[in-house]
Amino acid sequence: MRPPRASRRRTAGFTLVEMLAVLAILALVAGMAVPYLRGSASDRVRLEAASRHLAAALRLSRAAAVLRQTEVALVVDTDRHEFASAAVPRETFDQDIAVQLEIAEPERANPSRGGVRFFADGSSTGGEITLRLGNREARICVNWLAGETRLGGGC
C-alpha cells in the first residue's frame, strides 16, 4: 500500500528554497575567501618571476663576459628598482619588492647601488641578492669562484 501523496512530498528531500539558501551561503563564503587566497599566490608568483628574471640577467652577464673576454658588471639600484649590464638593457621590477645586496665592497657605488662583476674566465666578485615581498623572500647566490648563479638557499 502506498502512502498518501502529501506525506511523500514532505519526505522527498530538500525544497528549492532550501537549496538556494545553501548555494547563496556557499557563494558568500567563497567570495570572501578568494581575495585572501589570490593575494598570497599572486605575491609568490610575482616574487618568483622577479627573482628568476634577475638570475637570468646575471647568467647572461656572465656569458657575455666569457664570450667577449672582458669584464661585465650587472648593477642593481635598490632605490630605483632596476638593474642593467653591458649585456642586459635596463630592466625594472615591481616597486613593492624590496632588494638587499650583499656584495663585495669595491662593487658598491653607494648604499643603494652595487652589483656583481663577472670576469673573462667566468669567475665573479660573488654575492647574494635577496628580494622580499610581504613575508616572502627569494635569494639569488652568485659563487665568486665559478660565477655560477643559483636561486634559493644560502650562499
Grouped pLDDT means (10 residues each) for the chain, 155 residues: 57 78 81 62 89 97 97 97 96 94 96 97 97 94 96 78
pLDDT of residue 24: 80
The strand pairing partners of 102, in sequence order, are 128
Element (H, E) at 32: helix 16-68
pLDDT of residue 125: 97
| Integer CA distances (angstroms), 85 to 5, 52, 67, 71, 135, in order | 83, 16, 15, 10, 29
Distance linking the first and last C-alpha atoms of the chain: 82
Domain boundaries, the chain: 15-151
List CB contacts of 119: < 8 A, sequence separation 6 or more: 65, 71, 147
The strand pairing partners of 118, in sequence order, are 72, 124
The CATH superfamily of 15-151 is minor pseudopilin epsh domain (3.55.40.10)
State the pTM of this model: 0.75
The grid cell for 56 is 637570468
